[in-house]
A and B are shown apart, each in its own frame.
Chain A
Amino acid sequence: MPAERQIFFPFLFRMHKALMWAALLLLAGYLLVFLFYAANLIQFPFDYDQGEGFELVDTLLFSQGRWPWQNVEAYPFYSSNYPPLFHLLAVPFAWLFGPSYAYGRLLGTLATLIAAGAIAIAVRRDGGPGLLAPVSGLAFIASNTIYHIGPLNRQHMSMVMFETLALVVLANLGSIRDSRQRRKVFWTGLVLILAAGYTKQLALATALAAMVFLFIQRPLRGLQFAAAIALIGGGIFLMLTFATEGQWWLQTISANVNRYDPQQALGLLQQWFELHGFLVVPALLYLLYELYVDRLSIYSVWLVSALVIGLLSGKWGAGDSYFSTAIAATCILAGVGSSRLLAWLSERRNLRAAPGLLLIPLLYLGYSKSVLHLPTHSPPFDSIAALLEIRPNAPNGFYDSARSRAGDFPPGYADIGHLTSSEDLRAGEELVAIVRAVDGPVLSEDGSFALLAGKDEDTNPTQLLNLANNGLYRGDALLQMLREQAFGLIILRAGFFPGTVLQAIDENYGPDQVISMNGFDYRLYRPRPAQAK
């Protein structure tokens, strides 16, 4: 070996390692921010993200042995539009602790951490040893999107966890020689895919990716996988449709056909690329390498299918969370690709390829900068924010690089991620006290106030709107109750009810007060006096 290689390479490797450690430490910082945010949300007893309340109602209905897919034309006008698995996992907690967001948010947090762990395992197993495995797992948690939806009482991250576990299990199926072991892995992957699909419908794309990959590897196995999914998944689907007298089909499938806005999808795609570009580019390059030079891995097929799901984020009610599967696939592909490149560079010791050694950690350092988000007013992060001269651009003293300096963000990006404060807690308690003092039912756009006040949760506004947009909701009974002023109080946040319902509210109820919580205005309406109508 020439002398310059003997001197230059160890130096480059030391530089590479030092930079990798720097990237690891920075990304571990985001894990701390994530855990801080999760702990803050788990302790907060009220609604945070729109929709959390209805996921809790689903869990409570299951805990009482009732289906959440119900006829919305009859009181309490409630139905879920999601599959059951996430809510079923929370049922034992509901039996123990009653209505609370804490356990759902804890489950979401754990699902995010497990998904990150699975990403690290995949990079370690299919890429190689070194820091790239933990860095890839941490990069997933560091994403602005994963950060802000991870600790919610929402089912999305559990779906991503099941998807990631399924693909990590199935990735090396073809190389297993022992037929018994191969069968075990096949069925484990299949059960995990079904679990993802029965957590959220979007996992269909991951199921297709698994089928396509297995078909490419061995067409017969791909067809067997597809047949087994169709039989078992289809069987459960039919059973639920019959058991709920068609409500499962109506509420989870028919109601989910929504208006599509390509501008929203393209805006979110651009934002996804701007935030994750440092990893997206190497992931796509590695995909091209596998497509044209090597053999396609399951992760490459997954990234393509996940990007298609990302483009569905233009659907009404969808948002940046639709890119979370693509973020998981990106982290794995970038990690595996970088690991293989690193192994190749180490083996060849080619001086012309040496910049690659520094490029890999620099990509992760660049990524750490582009996904910057942290609380700016809460210790210990406030001193970091002060040191870096970061000013908040989100509510409650929070900086999120996904937003402009003025706090703007593309349509569909979730307006969350900031911490809740003691003022928010007081506002929530005030809202619950107001609801408790009301005689009769309360119509609330968010679920917790009625639940914590010991009242029924009436309606799921977004689901009523989904159905109305598809011509599947009349709302006669609800409109009649509004005309009769049967609700003692109405609480609106975003006004996601169908137009006819909002009009009836406007005609029969008058604005009373506005209470701000978590940066959102809760508008309270009380029955108008008869002469004022």
Chain B
Amino acid sequence: MAVGENTRRILLQGQGLLRAILRPMWERPLSKRQLGLLLVLAGSAGFIAVLAIDILDAGREGGLGPAQSLALGGTLLILLVGLSLLPLGDRPA
């Protein structure tokens, strides 16, 4: 019984702590740095995903097609924009 109450109290404290950390994060505007980080992640994930088409889609002809090159260029641009935002710090995006 006492163990259960302790667990419940710890869980409630953890939940409160999590809320205290997350709430301001969710309700505050993203900073330039945070936006930059998200763009870097999105650009990198997109870049890998476009390249992965060749590996996953075995039936496809090899090499980069023009549409794939266009998509790669787009993801690279997102990545570069993201990197350029990183030094801009905590100013709201």
Q: Which residues of B contact A291 (CB under 8 A)?
A: 81, 85
Q: Which residues of B contact A499 (CB under 8 A)?
A: none
Structural contact, A216 and B27, CB atoms closer than 8 A: no
Residue from B26, B30, B81, B88 in contact with A216 in the complex, judged by beta carbons closer than 8 Å: B30
Whether, in the assembled complex, B66 has its beta carbon less than 8 Å from a beta carbon of chain A, the answer is yes
Structural contact, A218 and B27, CB atoms closer than 8 A: yes
Q: How far is the CB of A135 from chain B (nearest CB, A)?
A: 30
Residue from A218, A263, A314 in contact with B29 in the complex, judged by beta carbons closer than 8 Å: A218
Structural contact, A215 and B92, CB atoms closer than 8 A: no
Structural contact, B27 and A220, CB atoms closer than 8 A: yes
Given contacts A291-B85, A292-B88, contact A216 B93 (CB under 8 A): yes
Q: How far is the CB of B36 from chain A (nearest CB, A)?
A: 10
Q: Which residues of A contact B88 (CB under 8 A)?
A: 292
Assembled-state Cα–Cα distance A216/B25 (Å)? 11
Structural contact, A217 and B29, CB atoms closer than 8 A: yes
Structural contact, A263 and B28, CB atoms closer than 8 A: no
Q: Which residues of A contact B28 (CB under 8 A)?
A: 218
Within 8 A of A (CB), among B72-93: 74, 81, 84-85, 88, 92-93
Interface size for chain B: under 10, 10 to 19, 20 to 34, or 35 or more residues? 10 to 19
Structural contact, A262 and B26, CB atoms closer than 8 A: no
Within 8 A of A (CB), among B42-81: 66-67, 69-70, 74, 81
Assembled-state Cα–Cα distance A219/B67 (Å)? 33
Interface string of A285-329 (1 = CB under 8 A from B): 000000110011000000000001001001000000000000000
Q: Which residues of B contact A260 (CB under 8 A)?
A: 67
Whether, in the assembled complex, B35 has its beta carbon less than 8 Å from a beta carbon of chain A, the answer is yes
Assembled-state Cα–Cα distance A217/B35 (Å)? 11
- Chain B, Cβ-Cβ closest to A265: B70
The winner among B28, B67, B85 for most chain A CB atoms within 10 A is: B67
Q: Which residues of A contact B30 (CB under 8 A)?
A: 215-217, 219
Given contacts A216-B35, A262-B66, A262-B70, contact A295 B26 (CB under 8 A): no
Assembled-state Cα–Cα distance A265/B69 (Å)? 13
Give residues in B with beta carbon < 8 Å to A: 25-30, 32, 35, 66-67, 69-70, 74, 81, 84-85, 88, 92-93
Give residues in A with beta carbon < 8 Å to B: 174, 215-220, 223, 260, 262-263, 265, 291-292, 295-296, 308, 311, 314
Besides the known contacts A218-B27, A218-B28, 9 further A-B residue pairs in the complex with CB atoms under 8 A apart = A174-B29, A216-B35, A216-B93, A217-B29, A219-B25, A219-B27, A219-B30, A223-B26, A265-B70
Q: List 17 A-B contacts (CB under 8 A).
A: A215-B30, A216-B29, A216-B30, A216-B93, A218-B27, A218-B28, A218-B29, A220-B26, A223-B26, A260-B67, A262-B66, A263-B66, A265-B70, A291-B85, A292-B84, A292-B88, A295-B92
